[in-house]
């Protein structure tokens, strides 16, 4: 486990600040929020959904949420994992998506981010049909849900930071 | 884009998965640990068995959830549940809303609050403190980038300090997560045994 605290980094919270101390009043939240970030983006067993694909999916969500800080964060992570920039171009629409599996993944990211209740059984069937394992479908669902969670925590931390 | 909201004031719904839950008999040790399955406790719900396909994520999410909803002091537990119900209502998750409406009522003995939210949604007329909590929760759920430091003022005016605002933020955010998992990996189902008409 790394010493980095991703939420403090994203919200611009210094480790010795009052807001960092406030967050430490919820030690389980600090620990397992970072822990979730670690296992969602750098799992020991990726279940067939690669780290680069995970970063790319997160970048897509950051774009949909129009959060510049999250966008830069996931773009940097994706660049490190996919220096060719191929996945990044498909996320931003600069390149045509020609692969059914990745197309289905991005479509699902968009669907669930925009409308949390929009998914139907057929959407999950589609992911399985293009070759995702049950593990990968659950991992993708956790990832989409986590980045949406993360954006709300970030908004609250910015609110607290601005008001102090 | 959300589906019609069911009545969530009349008890818990069941949840039907869209992908095959893990078969406990073929579970790995890591999956059993993530599920906290022991020889004396094999009662695991379908939702947890679906999430156990990714045991690493489940192992972190469960204690995170507990820390957010049950951590000592700070925002009263019932008001964290109110944040959860508001997020679930905005996100159209009747399963989550029903579970957490029930918890709110158990903690407060005030079914009236949940009946009002069922009837009028997150615009319901509530006492000022609850109204401030619902307003912030709904805005944070709908569009996190629209939140500004000014949104803290109505909460502070109702006596919420920094820790309480942090707790509420965590609870609402947790349901941005839970509502998406619940509505993506399966759907609510009416328990047949009660003949529930919902």
Contact B70, B81 (CB under 8 A): no
* Segment among A98-102, A152-156, B73-77 with least mean pLDDT: A98-102
* Interface contact B28, partner A, CB < 8 A: no
pLDDT tier, B1 (very low <50, low <70, confident <90, very high otherwise): very low
Do B178 and B97 fall into the same domain? yes
Do B41 and B78 fall into the same domain? no
Q: Report the DSSP beta bridge partners of residue B188.
A: B15
**pLDDT over 90 at B75, yes or no:** yes
CATH number at residue B157: 1.20.1290.10
Residue A150 and residue B176: Cα distance in Å, rounded? 9
Q: Give B35 to chain A, closest Cα distance, Å.
A: 15
pLDDT tier, B156 (very low <50, low <70, confident <90, very high otherwise): very high
**pLDDT over 70 at B74, yes or no:** yes
pLDDT tier, A56 (very low <50, low <70, confident <90, very high otherwise): very high
Contact B91, B2 (CB under 8 A): yes
Quick check: is B9 in a domain? no
Do B91 and B143 fall into the same domain? yes
Can you give the length of chain B in residues?
A: 198
| Three-state secondary structure string covering B9-62 | CCCCCEEEECCCCCCHHHCCHHHHHHHCCECCECCCCHHHHHHCCCHHHHHHHH
Do B37 and B78 fall into the same domain? no
∠ Cα A144 A145 A147 (to 5°): 70
Residue B50 and residue A116: Cα distance in Å, rounded? 18
Do B94 and B179 fall into the same domain? yes
Do B62 and B132 fall into the same domain? no
Q: Give A33 to chain B, closest Cα distance, Å.
A: 6
- The residue among A142, A150, A157, A162 with the most chain B CBs within 10 A of its CB, best to mutate, is A142
Quick check: is B198 in a domain? no
Do B138 and B46 fall into the same domain? no
Residue A89 and residue A73: Cα distance in Å, rounded? 16
- Residue A118 has a pLDDT of 82
Residue A154 and residue B20: Cα distance in Å, rounded? 34
Do B54 and B105 fall into the same domain? no
Instruction: State the average pLDDT for chain A.
Output: 93
Mean pLDDT calculated for residue range B101-114: 94
Quick check: is B193 in a domain? no
Do B151 and B90 fall into the same domain? yes
ipTM value for the complex: 0.95
Quick check: is B194 in a domain? no
Higher pLDDT, B5 or B39: B39
Kindly report the backbone phi and psi dihedral angles of residue B41, in degrees, each rounded to the nearest multiple of 5, phi listed first: -135, 95
Half-sphere exposure in the Cβ direction for A34 (13 Å, CA): 17
- Number of neighbouring beta carbons within 10 Å of residue B9: 18
- Number of neighbouring beta carbons within 10 Å of residue A129: 12
Q: What percent of chain B has pLDDT over 70?
A: 86
Mean pLDDT calculated for residue range A52-65: 96
Do B112 and B137 fall into the same domain? yes
Q: Decide: residue B3, CB within 10 A, 0-12 exposed, 13-18 middle, 19+ buried.
A: middle
Contact B53, B146 (CB under 8 A): no
Do B104 and B180 fall into the same domain? yes
Q: Give A13 to chain B, closest Cα distance, Å.
A: 14
Mean pLDDT calculated for residue range B186-195: 65
Domain that holds residue B35: 14-68
pLDDT tier, B9 (very low <50, low <70, confident <90, very high otherwise): low
Quick check: is B142 in a domain? yes
Quick check: is B1 in a domain? no
Q: Decide: residue A38, CB within 10 A, 0-12 exposed, 13-18 middle, 19+ buried.
A: middle
Higher pLDDT, A78 or A93: A78
Residue A41 and residue A59: Cα distance in Å, rounded? 12
**pLDDT over 50 at B196, yes or no:** no
Quick check: is B112 in a domain? yes
Residues of B (149-178) whose Cβ lies below 8 Å from A: 149, 151-152, 156, 162-163, 165-170, 172-174, 176-178
Quick check: is B8 in a domain? no
Q: Report the DSSP beta bridge partners of residue B17.
A: B186
Do B84 and B179 fall into the same domain? yes
**pLDDT over 70 at B197, yes or no:** no
Q: pLDDT digits over A2-21, tens only? A: 578 999 999 999 999 999 99
Highest mean pLDDT among B36-50, B89-103, B166-180: B166-180
Q: Which domains does chain A have, with CATH numbers?
A: 6-163 (1.20.1290.10)
**Number of structural domains in chain B:** 2
Q: What percent of chain A has pLDDT over 70?
A: 96
């Amino acid at each position: 486990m790394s010493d980095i605290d991703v939420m403090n980094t994203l919200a611009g919270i210094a480790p010795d600040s009052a807001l960092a101390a406030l967050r430490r009043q919820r030690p389980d939240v600090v620990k397992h929020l970072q822990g979730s970030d670690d296992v969602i983006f750098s799992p020991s067993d990726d279940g067939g959904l690669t780290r680069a694909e995970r970063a790319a999916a997160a970048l897509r969500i950051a774009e949909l949420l129009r959060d510049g800080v999250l966008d830069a964060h996931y773009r940097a992570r994706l660049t490190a994992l996919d220096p060719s920039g191929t996945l990044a171009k498909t996320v931003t629409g600069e390149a045509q998506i020609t692969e059914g599996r990745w197309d289905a993944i991005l479509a699902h990211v968009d669907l669930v981010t925009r409308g949390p209740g929009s998914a139907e059984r057929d959407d999950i069937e589609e992911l399985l049909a293009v070759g995702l394992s049950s593990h990968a479908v659950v991992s993708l669902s956790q990832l989409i849900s986590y980045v949406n969670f993360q954006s709300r925590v970030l908004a609250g931390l910015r609110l607290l930071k601005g008001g102090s | 884009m959300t589906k019609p909201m069911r009545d969530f004031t009349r008890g818990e719904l069941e949840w039907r998965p869209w992908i095959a839950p893990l078969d406990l008999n073929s579970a790995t040790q890591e999956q059993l640990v993530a599920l906290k399955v022991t020889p004396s406790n094999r009662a695991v719900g379908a939702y947890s068995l679906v999430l156990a396909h990714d045991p690493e994520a489940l192992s972190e999410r469960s204690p995170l959830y507990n820390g957010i909803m049950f951590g000592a002091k700070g925002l009263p537990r019932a008001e964290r549940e109110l944040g959860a119900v508001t997020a679930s209502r905005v996100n159209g998750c009747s399963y989550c809303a029903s579970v957490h409406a029930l918890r709110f009522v158990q903690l407060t003995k005030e079914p009236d609050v949940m009946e009002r939210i069922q009837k009028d949604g997150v615009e319901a007329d509530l006492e000022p403190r609850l109204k401030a909590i619902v307003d912030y929760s709904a805005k944070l759920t709908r569009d996190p980038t629209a939140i500004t430091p000014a949104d803290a003022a109505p909460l502070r005016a109702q006596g919420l300090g920094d820790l309480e605002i942090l707790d509420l933020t965590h609870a609402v955010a947790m349901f941005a997560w839970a509502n998406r998992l619940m509505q993506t990996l399966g759907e609510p189902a009416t328990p047949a045994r009660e003949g529930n008409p919902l």
